[in-house]
Structure 1
Amino acid sequence: MLPERRFAIGLTLVVFLVLAYLNNSKVILAKANVPARSFAVPVLMYHHFAPPGLNIAYNNVILAPARFERQMKYLKENRYNVIFLRELCEAMEKGKPLPPKTVVITMDDGYESNYVYAFPILKKYNIKATINLIVSFVKEENPTGFNPEKTTFLSWKQVKEMQASGLVDFQSHTFNHHHYLYVDANKKYTAPMLVSKVFSEEDHRLETDKEYEERVFCDLKKAKAILEEKLGKEVFALAYPYGAYNHKVQELAKKAGYKMHLTIKNGLNRYGDSLLEIRRVNVAPGDDMEAFSYKLQHGREK
């Protein structure tokens, strides 16, 4: 074989090997990037806690503390990576890698039972949670003290203690828009006030579009401002009361400075999903450990 032919064959072989190496490197790099693009995170939703046997109306958002502890113990023993809502926000915004079995715990409304029953359990298992406060319900202190048969809410003193632990973060559940109000003159129909023009008895008419938008925007802005002033941290998330929202509310919430909006739609949260429709699944009082495990894996009811 002529030297020139041998050289040409050798050069072709080298080029082939280099291209194969580069192509394989791209595959490896793509695989290395998979964790940043493929996480699927459940956001658990809790509300109120109360032991059984009290003289209260139990419902699907009141959980026994003992059941909550079993769930937190399960997360710890099974090595779940429990993160704050703000960490999920950063990962979804930037494609930041999250390890398998990552989960977010949220608690809505800001009941005092979160401090009395849930907080000691969070500390025991070193688990993070994010509490979404109805800001107008939070007082400097609770003058009557805690009564498990009364509906009481966190004080600023308790909120600051929980934040100082490094285990609890706080976001907004509006300033004072967690209510149903009348939307007609005959008082036959009510609707969540965040998404509805309400009827004014004083003026005997529904709000105008402008009045509605000003009311909602001012409430959301006020909640964010107070939380940031009291706690010295950025407030970026809004949990919709009753899970009710529409495009106008999304627009007003963004304008007020909220970049992450929490719904009650079931499902997992992935990189590339909208921050304006974070999915959550309610942890119900009747959930056994099989049901709890299913919600962790799928972000929904079985």
Structure 2
Amino acid sequence: MSFSVLMYHEIRKEQEFNPEHPSYIDVKQDYDDILPSPLFVTLEHFEEQMTYLHEQNYHILTLAEVKDYYRGKEIPEKSVLLTFDDCFQSVKEYAYPILKKYDFHAVAFVVTSWLQDTATEFNPEKSVCMTKTDLTDISDVFEYANHTHSFHQRTNAETSMMMEASDEEFSQDLDTCNEFVEVKDVFAYPFGLFNDRNVSLLREKGVILAFTTETGKNDRQTEPLHLKRNVIPYFINLDAFKKIVQ
């Protein structure tokens, strides 16, 4: 038995989205970056994808079920884990109502230093982070896990701040994020980047599951600290989506 993990970041209506227009992130931490267009999905495609999962009777996993799977418990044949990274406004604006409509469950990986202090009106021109209150408002659908407190920053194309931090710094950062997130033993690597030292520290800290950005399905032969996730980009059609989850 295997399962797919789907990864989303930002959602936009087709009329709002221009893949040639850079989307600058707006987060509390002093960090400037641009969210690449393949990390967007259109609202129309997202709703189509969730409708397909619902109509085809897919089982939407919780993190507890994934943990139990790696302890030997079975999962339903058609199982999918839905994940959202970074907690941008569109998750509440667009994803939440659709997920709630179908009684779906999802995971959001939180960069706690990115969460804004004050809620603002949804702005499709920028990738604006939500507040802690926003996350509480949608917690009947979402569970929250660790995506670092302040180490979600690139230092170059192949390295993140997390990778350059000492073990002590990384450990402290994990603890800070875990003061807020409910699920404290699950982690998502920023940008999908990590090294062996990071993995060893996560294991020492009691982390059970850690998610990469490597594509493919997961089974019991998959290392639980190297779990695969499939980015669902704006240009994917429903047939391509079906191949990822089937």
Under TM normalisation by the shorter chain, which class is it?
A: 0.7 to 0.9
Q: 2:8 aligns with which of 16, 35, 46?
A: 46
Separation in structure 1 between the aligned mates of residue 5 and residue 158 of structure 2, nearest angstrom: 29
| Matched letter for residue 75 of structure 2 | L
- Matches of 1:77 and 1:221 in 2, distance apart? 40
Q: Matches of 2:216 and 2:137 in 1, distance apart?
A: 32
Query: Normalization by structure 1: what TM-score?
Result: 0.72
Q: Counterpart of 1:220?
A: 174
The one-character-per-residue Cα deviations of 1:253-277 (angstroms, maximum 9, x if unpaired) are 2333422110111221112432111
Q: Does 1:156 align with 2:132?
A: yes
Task: Name the structure 1 match of 2:22.
Answer: 57
Task: Find the counterpart in structure 2 of residue 17 from structure 1.
Answer: none
Q: Is the 8 A contact 2:143 2:183 kept in 1?
A: no
Which blocks of at least 5 consecutive residues in structure 1 are unaligned?
A: 1-38, 183-188, 198-211, 228-232, 298-302
Over 3 Å counting, the alpha-carbon distance change for 1:104 and 1:256 in structure 2 is same
Query: TM-score normalized by structure 2?
Result: 0.87
- Kindly report which structure 2 residues correspond to 1:1-302, keeping only aligned pairs within 5 A, or say none: 39-54=1-16, 56-57=21-22, 59-92=37-70, 94-142=71-119, 144-163=120-139, 165=140, 167-181=141-155, 191-196=159-164, 212-227=166-181, 233-297=182-246
SS for the counterpart of 2:6 is: strand
Q: Percent identity?
A: 27
Seen in structure 2, the aligned counterparts of structure 1 residues 259 and 190 have a Cα distance that, compared at 3 Å, is closer
Runs of 5+ consecutive residues of structure 2 not aligned to the other structure: 24-36
* AA at the equivalent of 2:111: I
SS in 1 for 2:22: coil
Task: Please state which structure has a larger fraction of its residues in helix.
Answer: 1
1:6 matched residue in structure 2: none
Q: Deviations over 1:41-83 (max 9, x none)?
A: 0111111111234374261011111110000000000111111
Which protein is bigger by CA-based radius of gyration?
1
Deviation >6 Å, runs of 4+: none
The root-mean-square deviation of aligned C-alpha atoms, in Å, is 1.8
SS in structure 2 at match of 1:103: strand
Q: Distance in 2 between matches of 1:148 and 1:63?
A: 13
The residue identity in structure 1 corresponding to 2:22 is A
CA contact (8 A) 1:220 1:253 kept: no
Aligned counterparts of 2:102 and 2:184: Cα–Cα separation in 1: 26
